[in-house]
């Protein structure tokens, strides 16, 4: 793994589209649920949003664990 590959993986992130897909809702619904509660366009978050957040966070942890292991293996 070279510097560019490692930093590409480091800077990789979760986006609205990924969360919307897991929850089975639109990206607009994600954005509306993120608005302040007093905002006109605010919507309640979808049911089971906590499980989706945990799932994505666990995948992110695994992603970074693999990156750490790859970088450490490269140092040897």
Helices 49-75 + 3-11 axis angle, to 10? 160
- CB-CB contact of 6 with 71 (8 Å): yes
Sorted by sequence, the CB contacts under 8 Å of residue 12 that are 6+ apart come out as 63
Taking CA 25 as the corner, what is the angle to CA 23 and CA 28, rounded to the nearest 5 degrees?
125
Quick one: pLDDT at residue 75?
Answer: 73
What does the domain layout of the chain look like in residue ranges? 3-75
pLDDT single digits (tens) 41-68: 999 999 999 999 999 999 999 999 999 9
- CB-CB contact of 42 with 33 (8 Å): yes
pLDDT single digits (tens) 4-21: 999 999 999 999 999 999
Quick one: pLDDT at residue 1?
Answer: 85
* pTM, to two decimals: 0.83
């Amino acid at each position: 793994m070279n510097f560019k590959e490692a930093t590409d993986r480091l800077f990789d992130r979760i986006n609205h589209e990924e969360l919307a897909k897991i929850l089975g809702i639109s990206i607009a619904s994600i954005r509306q649920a993120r608005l302040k509660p007093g905002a006109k366009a605010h919507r309640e978050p979808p049911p089971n949003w906590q499980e989706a957040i945990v799932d994505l966070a666990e995948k992110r942890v695994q992603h970074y664990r693999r990156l750490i292991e790859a970088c450490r293996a490269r140092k040897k």
